Amino acid sequence: MSQEHVASPAAGAPATTDRLGGNRVGYVRLIPIAKVPMEAPWRWLGRGFRDMARAPLLSVAYGAVFALIAVLLLLGLWYAGVPALILPMAGGFLLVGPIMAAGLYRMSSLIERGQKVTLRDTLLVNIQSPGQLAFMGVALMIAFFAWVEIALLLFMLVFGPIAMPPVPEFIQTLLLEPRGLVLLTVGTFLGAVIAAIIFASTVVSIPLLMVREVDVVTAIVTSLRAVAINPGLMILWAILIAVIMALGFALLFAGLLIAFPLIGHATWHAFRDVVPDEDKLGPPSELSAQAESPDQPS
């Protein structure tokens, strides 16, 4: 697989070489990013299936926990009298999925090294930047609750101070009435924008915080740079994640038993392809040369 390591700083910004590889712009460490071929997401999914086959019980258990939490949220909304929030809640729930998949990343890491996978290893995950990862988790939870508040606000702005209708009536209103179409259009647009921002910020940042001693700003910047360097690839990967998870929800949440661990395992392999190992990047002098000539093949 042909890859290029891109670690160049922003134009005009003062940069220094990091002892662990890559450059620094101010306090942000620019970790080298690989240019990955467009067909890579299919390979990531294939490797995800392989990891699931090697640790089937633990993988499905993670999917079961994720599905159980989703079902409990659904039931809570139903009994609270706001079933119309189920759809936006399901979409918002995916925002915290990356942090919930930390154990799956750990499992794939162990499988990759040929080590035995145990429940203890997946629960007591060895994290290189635990405080920063916890901060990222809190940020994702805030984004989740903000997502729900935005959905409620949009409903109130469009429909006014009325009780939410039952799901069949609400769906009919969304599809057939002008105000419903307005809510559907604006809500879909805002949801897509928020989801795109969260995806771009977390696509490699959480695995990175698990295996390297970096701060959360560096991890997010690395994730954003990974998307900027591989835009078409990341759009395809985001679409595949959305489709697979949507199928998981559509199958009465039972599909999440497979969908969630599959995406979790595959995400680890996406991270491994997009963010190369530091011990494979060469000494700082070579990295500086790569930074000056980003088109130079590795």
Q: What is the pLDDT of residues 51-97, one digit of tens each?
A: 999 999 999 998 898 888 888 887 887 777 676 677 777 777 778 88
Residue at 76 is within a domain: yes
Residue at 77 is within a domain: yes
For the cut 80, the answer to whether the pLDDT of residue 225 exceeds it is: yes
Q: Which tokens belong to 40?
A: 């890579």
Phi then psi dihedrals of residue 30, to 5 deg = -90, 100
Q: What is the pLDDT of residues 262-277, one digit of tens each?
A: 999 999 999 999 998 7
For the cut 70, the answer to whether the pLDDT of residue 283 exceeds it is: no
Residue at 282 is within a domain: no
CB count, 10 Å around CB of 238? 17
Residue at 37 is within a domain: no
Residue at 298 is within a domain: no
Number of helical H runs and strand E runs in the chain: 14, 5
Residue 153 lies in domain: 59-275
Q: Which tokens belong to 152?
A: 């409620």
Residue at 226 is within a domain: yes
CA-nearest of 229, 205, 202 to 4 is 229
Q: What is the pLDDT of residues 184-219, one digit of tens each?
A: 888 888 888 888 999 999 999 999 998 888 889 999
What pLDDT, on the 0 to 100 scale, is given for residue 284? 37
Phi then psi dihedrals of residue 6, to 5 deg = -115, 115
Residue at 4 is within a domain: no
Torsion of CA 172, 177, 179, 185, to 10 degrees: 70
Residue at 23 is within a domain: no
User: Contacts from 157-162 at CB under 8 Å and sequence distance 24+?
Assistant: 158/182, 158/183, 158/186, 159/183
- The sheet carrying 23-25 orders its strands as 15-17, 23-25, 28-30
Question: What pLDDT band is residue 157 in, cutting at 50, 70 and 90?
Answer: confident
Helix (H, G, I), strand (E, B) or coil at 20: coil
Q: What is the CA radius of gyration of the chain?
A: 21
Total count of domains within the chain = 1
